[in-house]
Structure 1
Amino acid sequence: MTLESDWLSRFMALVTVTGKLEIRCAFGAPWAVTYERSPACEIPYHVVLRGRAILENPDDGRVRELGGGDLVLLPHGSPHVLHDGSGLPPVPAVKRPGGHVLVGENAGTGERLDMLCGRFVVAPPHDRLIRRHLPPDLVVHATTDSRAPNALAAIARLTALVELMRAESLEQQLGGLAILNALSAALFALALRAVSESGQAPTGLLALAGQPRLAPAIVAMLDDPAKPWTLPELAALCSMSRATFMRHFQSTLGHSAADLLTDIRMSLAANALRQPSASAEAVSADVGYQSVAAFRRVFTRWAGMTPGDWRRQSLGGTRDAAASDDGVAGDAE
């Protein structure tokens, strides 16, 4: 991998993700915890430090087993249940302060579980990009069948980060909470890298990036989103015919190349519109639109609000937002 092909760094620069570690679960079987659907901009995550856990997703009925060192992210914020798998009524749990994070405990005497739980917060409107191009759940196993050096290195680094989070959560050291939250944010990027490198993602952006023949198209669109990319140009970058490229891209990502390019452009535009001095003309040109009217139509369809409304919302209705309205005037045509 070269700097020129580092699609993940470009993607992480596009979206703003912060992390928060919330609770450490120290349970004895039988145990169970239930999570309702999360708000649109939140991604729950769980890291099994010791023991094992069964993950059930009521949305699709899938059941997954997690072992020590395994991590699961739920990019769609799906409701889910974690339990020990015994089928027995869970022993009630209580929460107590545990230094930098809450500790959940029960009086169960069966197999022990040690698990960290938290959430990633995605700055709007980038939750649309996340939910559209990442699967409902991402499980990263501490062991992988892949023998690729990059995959093994990604898993090893993720394991090391998890161990550091475990140590920080056990101690009450200076700056511990800030460090835990910073490590939690890094966990997101490392998890995406591990899934992509190890081929553990069945579909979506990570599966697409994990295919060497298709990855050049992602890199190109993230590197130069304003360029008027055509399917033949993207196919040529991937050394494929136009028809083969379209078929493989659609089946792997679940969306077309044009859909992904639009999502990248509109995410960039949303970021740019947070700057009070940026005019609609400049923003539309920067993301590849010669017509401001066309840009407004696409942005409104994508974000569910006009560029002007988005700017006012993102700036909190400040004086800067009002003063910059002239730059995005005429949203409603």
Structure 2
Amino acid sequence: MPEPAVNETTDWLSRLLEFAPVRGRLDLRCVFGAPWRIEQPHADSGEMPYHVVLAGSATLEDPENGSSIRLKAGDILVFPKGASHVLHDGSGASPAPTREREAASIVVSENTGAGARLDMLCGHFVVTAAHERLLRNHLPERLIGRSSGADEETSRQLKGLATLMRAITDTETLGAHAMLDALSTALFTVALRLASESRDPSPGLLSLAGSPRLAPALEAIFRDPARAWTLPELAQLCTMSRATFVRLFREKLGASASDLLTDIRMTMAANELRKPSAHVAAVAGIVGYQSEAAFQRAFKKHMGVTPTHWRKLSGHHGHGEDPAT
């Protein structure tokens, strides 16, 4: 059966999350009074911790340069590569003791601090190893989405999601856990949108998306990754020379257009090979390879196993699980 046609209006971010779906999980709600401190170790493979400040403020220690970053109400912090991190109230005082209690729909972490109040949602996003490669290869170590600096619509959406999640954690609502996880999943998309609007995003997809000159190439690659794109074609879409395109693309993404295209194609292939009726030769064609042998080599180099082995392993795992884990 032929693949359904791609909607020409589908944007790159929607396509990214179609290729590499992410599920959200809300873990707990932190309600602290200063002084407080959170030390979170490196996340497990396939997990990306996040924090949403509902009220008050928090200070993130930046291990790269020893500085600190202040987070305010309406900000969301995500660690796409699962990095360990420390959040605190900024006072430098020893943190007050904490305790956890079961609330209506969530675990609440509280302390005995009497200072400035913090209300924050903490959770993580989950992605399989096959999908994780595409996201971790092209997202920064840390991304911060600030609702105060975003366009009005994006800011309104983040505030709306956070307000609804807080309201659900306050009451015993039928289906609360399912609702919180679904809203948590939506947070990932909003976080990427907010971070892409940053004035100085780190090299990666968000920096690339924030470049008006290169955006046409990004949209084209995600809209039709199976096409045999050439550098002159992509450069022409961006109305620049081939040399300028290559230089600017790598500068913004931190990788070449070919690297990005291969990552997308291999993620697509891994998804296709999960289907019981999938044949390697057909999958090769679907993701843009004229030669099955070339596809076999590229897939093994990228995924660590042959397409046939991947397909066999996929048959022993449930839907959404990764045979490489």
Q: TM-score, length-normalised on structure 1?
A: 0.89
Q: CA deviation at 1:315?
A: 2.8
Q: Which amino acid is the alignment partner of residue 272 of structure 2?
A: A
Do the aligned partners of 1:52 and 1:67 also contact (CA within 8 Å) in 2?
Answer: yes
Do the aligned partners of 1:140 and 1:200 also contact (CA within 8 Å) in 2?
Answer: no
Secondary structure of the corresponding residue to residue 119 of structure 2: strand
Residues of 2 paired with 1:198 and 1:161: CA distance?
20
Residues of 1 paired with 2:81 and 2:126: CA distance?
12
Counterpart in the other structure of 2:268 = 268
Residues of 2 paired with 1:312 and 1:91: CA distance?
52
Residues of 1 paired with 2:71 and 2:168: CA distance?
22
Do the aligned partners of 2:146 and 2:194 also contact (CA within 8 Å) in 1?
Answer: no
1:94 aligns with 2:99: yes
Residues of 2 paired with 1:68 and 1:288: CA distance?
45
- 1:2-17 matches, within 5 Å, as 4=9, 6-17=11-22
Residues of 1 paired with 2:194 and 2:86: CA distance?
24
Q: CA deviation at 1:217?
A: 0.9
2:139 to 116, 134, 139: 134
Q: CA deviation at 1:67?
A: 0.8
Deviations 1:47-104 (A, max 9, x none): 0111111112446645321111111010000000111111111112111101211000
1:242 aligns with 2:247: no
- 1:164-313 matches, within 5 Å, as 164-199=164-199, 201-313=201-313
Do the aligned partners of 2:49 and 2:80 also contact (CA within 8 Å) in 1?
Answer: yes
Q: Unaligned regions of 5+ residues in structure 2, if any?
A: 1-6, 319-325
Residues of 2 paired with 1:305 and 1:84: CA distance?
46
1:71 aligns with 2:76: yes
RMSD value, Cα: 1.7
Q: CA deviation at 1:289?
A: 1.0
Residues of 2 paired with 1:104 and 1:35: CA distance?
14
Point out the more displaced range, 114-123 or 153-162.
153-162
Q: TM-score, length-normalised on structure 2?
A: 0.91
Counterpart in the other structure of 1:325 = none
Counterpart in the other structure of 1:55 = 60
Q: Size of the alignment, in residue pairs?
A: 312
Residues of 2 paired with 1:62 and 1:183: CA distance?
32
Q: Which amino acid is the alignment partner of residue 95 of structure 2?
A: P
Q: CA deviation at 1:223?
A: 1.4
Q: Unaligned regions of 5+ residues in structure 1, if any?
A: 319-333
1:27 aligns with 2:32: yes
Residues of 1 paired with 2:45 and 2:317: CA distance?
22
Do the aligned partners of 1:72 and 1:138 also contact (CA within 8 Å) in 2?
Answer: yes
Point out the more displaced range, 183-192 or 207-216.
207-216
Point out the more displaced range, 84-93 or 303-312.
303-312
Secondary structure of the corresponding residue to residue 159 of structure 1: helix
Counterpart in the other structure of 2:323 = none
In the TM superposition, structure 1's runs of 4+ consecutive aligned residues that sit over 6 Å from their partners are: none
Secondary structure of the corresponding residue to residue 143 of structure 1: helix
1:108 aligns with 2:113: yes
Q: 1:306 to 1:58 in 2, by over 3 A?
A: farther
Do the aligned partners of 1:50 and 1:115 also contact (CA within 8 Å) in 2?
Answer: yes
Do the aligned partners of 2:147 and 2:154 also contact (CA within 8 Å) in 1?
Answer: no
Residues of 1 paired with 2:265 and 2:89: CA distance?
44
Do the aligned partners of 1:59 and 1:79 also contact (CA within 8 Å) in 2?
Answer: no
Q: CA deviation at 1:317?
A: 6.0
